[in-house]
Amino acid sequence: MTTSNTIKKVLIVFGHPERKSFNGSLLDATVKNLESQGLEVKVSDLYRMNWKSEVTEDDFPETHEKGTRLEVAPESLAAFQNHKLTPDVVAEQEKLEWADLVILQFPLWWTGFPAILKGWVDRVFSAGLAYYRPERFGDGAFAGKKAMLMVSTGGAESHYSATGIHGPINDLLFPIQHGMLFYTGMTILPPFVTYSAYNITDDKFNSILEDLYNHFKDIDSLKPIAYRKQAEDYDPKTKELKQEIVDASNEKGFSLHIRKD
Amino acid sequence: MTTSNTIKKVLIVFGHPERKSFNGSLLDATVKNLESQGLEVKVSDLYRMNWKSEVTEDDFPETHEKGTRLEVAPESLAAFQNHKLTPDVVAEQEKLEWADLVILQFPLWWTGFPAILKGWVDRVFSAGLAYYRPERFGDGAFAGKKAMLMVSTGGAESHYSATGIHGPINDLLFPIQHGMLFYTGMTILPPFVTYSAYNITDDKFNSILEDLYNHFKDIDSLKPIAYRKQAEDYDPKTKELKQEIVDASNEKGFSLHIRKD
């Protein structure tokens, strides 16, 4: 892992419909904070870009014959390999290529991404680039890059605690952090989560800003989540954890896939 | 739980872009099988309906003034209460109201829903109907209804096993089954999962069909996933599991929220 790399360029992908929202204010504050640290920042504000959420045959205009059977992954691969993806997707892939740190900022809707942000992953993480290649989970096209989620929830923190009714926040974010981002080789920094994100008074906002500044204060030394790498800890054939690791662990479920050192 | 109710009406929400795909063939077979059992079936084929995935201000045409700050939940509530949601959303809510069983069928993309299906939940599960009400997790507008996922994965079954690299399939589906469907009061039937869903030969398809028929053979007595109800097992204030339940369990993470009886 290249966790000692210095972060210079940050891409923030913003998935909230309203720029004049709490999330919008937090985005502004984050950009300002990162720029004041001398970092370059780009923002993909998906709603303002009228981002297309659905994978359709129009995504492969030159490598798919309209009206014929769409196979998705092979056609995504052909379009990627032949440099025939659509300009909106190519632009996002170029921003990803450019960035040292990728931040996905969104309100937690029904336990996860708003559809538009899922559509960003579905379309930008094309075959050949992000999947359909042997390197995965700790290696891949985005190895060396870092990723971080910035999430707001309506529910209180206790609802997302170890015994909270929604399930632990880290488990809810696992499909995104591990199954999407770590999958492509990125190193995952701890998320910045704002609970009870409604009726935000000035006092509450200032206290959130203080947490935000602390979170980003020394961003290069933020300790990543220690997900296990496919190349090291899994059976190459079954993709199951090596038995000695399972035997030595008291964990179950998603937690098994995080090193305890 | 009203698990003894007889299922007569089934809504299938289909989230695959290609009707002439494996998932499309499985949809056809499922409809045929259910109809041959005397059930009524409706299909919401989201791609063919040109479903709009993004929550936008256009979703609240009469209760939101264009260009003003969009607050999402309160405006979703106002539109629902005043019967001013858009016709596409109302039509889906009416199908939900009609159905005894709701099946969501989709390919697992990046650990979850394709964006279009998330957009169906984001828009159809409006405030006042599906959330913004005290009854949740086992009670709510959809209490008495059953729900089931039909999912295909590219990866092999071992990748989704208890120690598989993606995490256990039941944990990956928990945010959908528990956080979206059980949340609204539905009873969750076990999912029908097809692994390694590519290069499907006739033999493989026939074997999958046999599994499908067995899964649906006695649908009224399929044993639901025993998620714990908010009204019974959680602290009313913190929404954390009651301490005696935590103390009596060896589970952690999502599994804590499933009864073992």
For B112-140, what is each residue's pLDDT tens digit? 999 999 999 999 999 999 999 999 999 99
A199 with A242, same domain? Answer: no
Task: Among B107, B161, B176, select the one facing A240 at the smallest CB separation.
Answer: B161
Q: Which residue has the tokens 């309160």?
A: B74
At A3, the pLDDT band (50, 70, 90 cuts) reads: very low
- Tokens 């989201």 locate to B46
Does a structural domain hold residue B2? no
Asked whether residue A201 is assigned to any structural domain, the reply reads: yes
Query: Cα dist. A103→A196, B55, B154, B175, B242 in Å?
Result: 21, 21, 27, 22, 36
A2 belongs to a structural domain: no
Is A159 labeled as catalytic in the residue annotation?
A: no
The structure tokens listed for A106 are: 């969104």
Asked if residue B235 belongs to a domain, the reply is yes
Task: Please state, in angstroms and rounded to a whole number, the distance separating the CA atoms of residues B190 and A34.
Answer: 46
Q: Is B11 helix (H, G, I), strand (E, B) or coil?
A: strand
Contact yes or no for B192/B153 (Cβ under 8 A): no
Q: Same structural domain for residues A52 and A128?
A: yes
CB pairs under 8 A between A and B: 206
Question: Which tens digit of pLDDT belongs to each residue from A179-236?
Answer: 999 999 999 999 999 999 998 999 999 999 999 999 999 999 999 999 999 999 999 9
B246 lies in the same domain as B145: no
pLDDT for the residue numbered A235: 98
Q: How far is CA A8 from CA A177, A194, A220, in A?
A: 21, 25, 10
Annotation says A154 is catalytic: yes
Mark whether B216 and B237 lie in a shared domain: no
Output DSSP code: residue B177. I
pTM recorded for the entire structure: 0.97
Closest Cβ opposite residue A110 in set B125, B198, B257: B125
Look at residue A138 in the predicted model and tell me its pLDDT: 97
Residues of chain B contacting A163 with CB distance shorter than 8 Å: 240-241, 246, 256
Do B235 and B159 reside in the same domain of the chain? Answer: no
- Name every chain B residue with its beta carbon within 8 A of the beta carbon of A255: 252-253
B4 within some domain: no
Flag if B239 and A137 touch (Cβ within 8 Å).
Answer: no
Instruction: Tell whether B185 and B236 lie within a shared domain.
Output: no
Give the pLDDT score at B261: 74
Average pLDDT over residues B224-253: 97
The pLDDT of residue A81 is 96
Residues A251 and A129 in one domain: no
Would residue A204 count as lying in a domain? Answer: yes
What is the SS3 assignment for A194? strand
- Beta strand extents in A217-260 (DSSP E only): none
Q: Looking at the predicted structure, is the pLDDT value of residue B1 above 50?
A: no
Strands (E), A75-141: 101-107
Residue-wise pLDDT tens digits, B46-73: 999 999 999 999 999 999 999 899 999 9
pLDDT at A2: 44
Please give, rounded to a whole number of angstroms, the shortest distance from the CA of B118 to a CA of chain A: 5
Of B57, B125, B163, the CB nearest to A246: B163
Residue in A with minimal Cα distance to B199: A71
A162–B252 C-beta distance less than 8 A: yes
Instruction: Report the distance separating Cα B78 and Cα B132, nearest Å.
Output: 11
Name the nearest CA neighbour of B158 among A242, A255, A238.
A238
Owning domain of residue A185: 9-225
The closest of A88, A59, A93, A52 to A75, measured between CA atoms, is A59
Average pLDDT value for residue range A24-38: 98
CATH of the domain at A124: 3.40.50.360
Q: Do B25 and B50 reside in the same domain of the chain?
A: yes
Coil/strand/helix, residue B188: strand
Q: Is A198 within the bounds of a domain?
A: yes
Percent with pLDDT over 90 in chain B: 96
pLDDT band for position B259 (cuts 50, 70, 90): very high
Tokens 């052909």 belong to which residue?
A78
In a shared domain, residues B252 and B155: no
> CB distance B56–A69 less than 8 Å?
no
Tell whether B34 is covered by a domain. Answer: yes
What's the pLDDT at A1?
Answer: 42
* Position A261 confidence tier, pLDDT thresholds 50, 70, 90: confident
Residues 6+ apart with CB under 8 A from B258: B225, B226, B227, B228, B251
Question: Measuring CA to CA, how many Å separate A106 from each of A18, A122, A142, B31, B191?
Answer: 11, 16, 21, 37, 28
Q: Pick from A24, A48, A41, A253: which is nearest to A152 by CA?
A: A24
**Contact (CB, 8 A) for A251 and B252:** yes
The residues with which B240 forms a beta bridge, in sequence order, are A164
The verdict on A237 and A197 lying in the same domain is: no
A166 in the same domain as A126: yes
Give A54→chain B minimum CA distance, Å.
6
Look at chain B and report how many structural domains it folds into: 2
**A145, A241: one domain:** no
